[in-house]
Amino acid sequence: MCRLVGWVSETPRTLAEVLGGSGLAELIALSHQHEDGWGTAWWDADRLQTVSSHLPAHASPDFGAWARDVRADAALVHLRWATPGIAVRPENTHPFVIGDYAFGHNGAVRPKDGLLPMLSADTRAGLGGDTDSERLLHVLVDRVIEHGLDDGLRRTVTDVCRDLTPSSLNVLLLGREELTALCCHGAASEGDAPVLEGPPEDQPGYFDMRWRRDGDAVVVASQPLGDRGWQRMDNGTALVVRRGSVEHRTVQIGMFSDEALRREQARRQVAAVSGAP
């Protein structure tokens, strides 16, 4: 499981400026648990740039330098906590990129090989790693290109939930024109009764997404960071923020199907008893 931060700003900002000192410190602290690499993508004028490392952010000098020195009007940041069974190596480190799209994911789609039939033979041959997340990016972009952004998001949720078992489809998708944050998961939300045992992702609120307006910027994150006010996104929605402005809109993308929820709940129950991932 992972942590996500993204922003769009009329005035280019660094990650440190977006989160403030306390928020950046909290994000770095999270990398002691989400320790399986970090990556970022941002627009430098008309060039999509990326930097990533399989080292945890707290142990990577490049992360601190990037966070404090690189200004961008649109960017995403990803801290990876690898799904058990998927290797920690550079090819599996987010963000993944297709053309003008960069992508970071928080969650898992099981079985990960179940996404392969949704991809063309050429796409399967060109995969760089073996994560479900990289495959999910291709599924999503294929549908966005064919059906447009809003319907492409909806079709992705519907198609993935039809036969597979996702824990979360929380995504940041950074394109040339906008940053899109998806909040779509099958977990409890903040305010529900806490789970006495189990991993952090089983705790209510772990898969919630947050956003806030900060002057000429809109910021989204996997959890509140720092002392600035945040709003919780509704499950089953996407926030689309147009690059170069603070213009934003909410899109209803749909919830997990009842069948997908039952499969995920059954998987969690088995994992709790057996200790399996």
pLDDT score for 272: 76
Q: How many helices (H) and strands (E) does the chain have?
A: 6, 15
Relative to beta strand 38-44, strand 2-13 is: unpaired
pLDDT band at 190 (very low <50, low <70, confident <90, very high): low
pLDDT score for 247: 94
Backbone angles phi, psi at 5, to 5 degrees: -140, 140
Distance in angstroms (rounded) separating the CA atoms of residues 181 and 179: 7
pLDDT tens track for 3-43? 999 999 999 999 999 999 999 999 999 999 999 999 999 99
Residue 35: alpha-carbon gap to chain centroid:
16
Q: What tokens does 150 get?
A: 């809003």
> Does the pLDDT at position 193 exceed 50?
no
Distance in angstroms (rounded) separating the CA atoms of residues 139 and 155: 10
> Can you spell out the DSSP letters for 103-148?
EEEES-EESGGGGGGGS-HHHHHT--S--HHHHHHHHHHHHHHHH-
Distance in angstroms (rounded) separating the CA atoms of residues 117 and 195: 35
Distance in angstroms (rounded) separating the CA atoms of residues 248 and 259: 32
Distance in angstroms (rounded) separating the CA atoms of residues 57 and 68: 13
Domains and CATH numbers, the chain: 2-274 (3.60.20.10)
pLDDT tens track for 46-87? 999 999 999 999 999 999 999 999 999 999 999 999 999 999
- Least confident interval from 7-16, 35-44, 181-190, 198-207: 198-207
pLDDT score for 9: 97
Q: What is the mean pLDDT of residues 158-174?
A: 97
Residue of 93, 66, 106 lying closest to 207 (CA atoms): 106
Conformation bin of residue 99: beta by default, left when phi > 0, alpha when psi is -120 to 50: left
